[in-house]
Amino acid sequence: MSEPLLELRDVWAGYGKITALRGVSLKVFPGEIVSIIGANGAGKSTTLMTICNVVKASKGEIIFDGKDIRGLSSDKLPPMGLTQVPEGRRIFPRLTVLENLEMGAYHRKDKEKTQADLEEILILFPRLKERCKQQGGTLSGGEQQMLAIGRAIMSRPKLMLLDEPSLGLAPLLVQQIFDTIKSINESEGVTILLVEQNANVALSMSSRGYVMETGEVVMEDTADNLLTNENIRKAYLGEL
């Protein structure tokens, strides 16, 4: 098997005196979609923020593409091929759709390829093409999610961290967003680590999954096995 693109080894992190991650270890291999599922407060989003050093790890190793990135400032990560679509979108509300997308490529020098990528994103998300000159803050929640994903793609990532992409979206839009994520993985070869409250949808499109409880990884398995695990179905898939 190939080396992991991302590996967390016994990572601890928290907020002040509150410990949020307790020895988290996980691996993501090139080309995979891997999901992290768990209840609210389990440490899922904190895991992604710790990878990006938004939350600082107090212990452990975070290895991306063979390099230990623990403590590396967030702005250094996109040029290395690691990008995040944070919970709540976090687009620039006063910038236009086009300007938001261009911000995703701030570190790139290959103007022709950047322009080609921009055109591909506007094909992938026709709604964004219609709203290119519109301020990001005036878009609907679903359109803002498309914009956040498009902005991340503009950085040409090897690994994309997605935090709750379905949050607050109508079911029809949720399916559209997840179809797009699957397409990005398959056609562009982007590896994806996904945190998602909708465990059923997340596992259905993943190869593997991790289950978190109170800051710890309590289970790791193939997505198919997690989907058929009776305890997982009761706890996270809304089935009795």
Q: What does the alpha-carbon distance between residue 183 and residue 198 come to, in Å, rounded to a whole number?
A: 19
pLDDT digits (tens, 9 = 90+) for 186-224: 988 999 999 988 888 899 999 999 999 999 999 999 999
Confidence label for 140 from pLDDT (cuts 50, 70 and 90): confident
Residue 106, amino acid = Y
pLDDT grade for 55, boundaries at 50, 70 and 90: very high
All structural domains of the chain, each given as residue ranges with its CATH number in brackets, are: 6-89+156-236 (3.40.50.300)
Please name every residue paired with 125 in a beta bridge, in sequence order, or none if there are none: none
> What is the pTM (predicted TM-score) of this model?
0.90
Tokens of 18: 């509150």
pLDDT, tens only, 66-82: 999 998 998 899 999 99
pLDDT score, position 124: 86
User: Residue 240: what pLDDT?
Assistant: 41
What are the tens digits of pLDDT across the range 87-103?
766 888 899 999 999 99
Give the long-range contacts of residues 176-181, CB within 8 A, separation 24 or more.
176/142, 177/142, 177/145, 177/146, 177/149, 178/205, 180/124, 180/125, 180/146, 180/149, 181/33, 181/149, 181/205
pLDDT at 237 over 80: no
H helix runs in the chain, sequence order: 44-51, 77-80, 97-103, 111-124, 126-130, 141-153, 171-188, 199-204, 223-228, 230-236
